[in-house]
Structure 1
């Protein structure tokens, strides 16, 4: 269904945008909440009439968004996470974690949907975090991830080594099975076609049958 947005909607667009969405989403959510109206001749005419006012409001929103984005300029948030002996994280740092760090350290309540991370954060280091505070305005800040090594009990290490050994053993078995199958198929392809020789008695009987049929 084609609709006209009556307000800015995250991930969809800004007020006045004409977009197409699923019928159910429009009927059950956007239109009942007055976030959008269905595209009709009347609604398009009304949109043109309101266009200048919408553009003025949008310019004001962009100014406010730029002012808000400036709060994060050169800002850094820090996270201390548990890592293994190789410096890898147990899990990863998510947008929910980043939102909490921003709130705890900078005092800003950020919607998770505004946070954009690049690759998954699974190692210590510095990462750039993007905040989409407006469809046309983004803020940047730095996330510093440092590690806190956790001692792994010996019994757990033994279990990990055992599991790793079993995995390698299974991989080798699968490899050998694949090789054996491949060799078997090669032999089948190379095997000559067996020629069935007729016995003298069978040849004589066939000749008699042919003569009698004549």
Structure 2
């Protein structure tokens, strides 16, 4: 099955890429989740629009990615979340909340879809967070989750 990605899917590609996947994977996962659209000649024309939108929000080049990496790695990111007895959170911390915490700490605006968490944040503590800024640049910073009063 030939599809056009509308969002970045790790292991497959970036928005605007035309790829070939197994029928079931495309039909049962990528299309219903909105990660892709079916390939047609008409949809092929939308690829330029998707790529233009991607370039507008993407980090411009390798130098800019390294600059953002430097900002992130020197940043102290703290997130307040409601917690119960023993430091267990009510729910878990989402990528959107992490991006907002980075912005509140004085960091750059980030794309939540590029965040990579090694494990789910469900308790108070410090967690390593990786973000893929560029195909060649990955930044790492620590997220400190504290209990809200």
TM-score grouping bracket, smaller chain normalisation: 0.5 to 0.7
Paired position in structure 2 for 1:91:
91
Partner of residue 46 from structure 2, selected from 29, 32, 51: 32
C-alpha displacement at 1:110, in angstroms? 1.2
Paired position in structure 2 for 1:114:
114
Aligned residues: 121
Structure 1 residue ranges without an equivalent (≥5): 37-59, 150-214
C-alpha displacement at 1:20, in angstroms? 2.9
Larger radius of gyration: 1
- The alignment's C-alpha RMSD in Å is 3.2
RCO greater where, 1 or 2, for CA within 8 Å and sep 6 or more? 2
After superposition, the Cα gap between the structure-2 partners of 1:70 and 1:29, relative to the gap in structure 1 and judged at 3 Å, is farther
Question: Is the 2:89–2:124 contact (alpha carbons within 8 Å) kept by the matching residues of 1?
Answer: yes
Task: For 1:139 and 1:14, locate their aligned partners in 2 and report how far apart those are by CA, in whole Å.
Answer: 21
TM-score (norm 1): 0.47
Please give the residue correspondences for 1:1-214 in structure 2 after superposition, counting only pairs within 5 Å: 1=2, 10-11=8-9, 12-13=13-14, 19-20=19-20, 24-27=37-40, 31-34=45-48, 35=50, 61-148=61-148
Task: For 2:116 and 2:89, locate their aligned partners in 1 and report how far apart those are by CA, in whole Å.
Answer: 20
Q: Deviations over 1:109-128 (max 9, x none)?
A: 11111211121111111111
C-alpha displacement at 1:142, in angstroms? 0.9
Match of 1:109, SS state, is coil
Structure 2 residue ranges without an equivalent (≥5): 27-35, 52-59
Task: Give the 4+ runs in structure 1 shifted more than 4 A.
Answer: none
After superposition, the Cα gap between the structure-2 partners of 1:102 and 1:19, relative to the gap in structure 1 and judged at 3 Å, is same
Match of 1:97, SS state, is helix
TM-score (norm 2): 0.64
Paired position in structure 1 for 2:30:
none
Query: 1 or 2, which has the higher helix percentage?
Result: 1
Q: Deviations over 1:30-65 (max 9, x none)?
A: 6414157xxxxxxxxxxxxxxxxxxxxxxx822332
Question: Is the 1:128–1:141 contact (alpha carbons within 8 Å) kept by the matching residues of 2?
Answer: yes
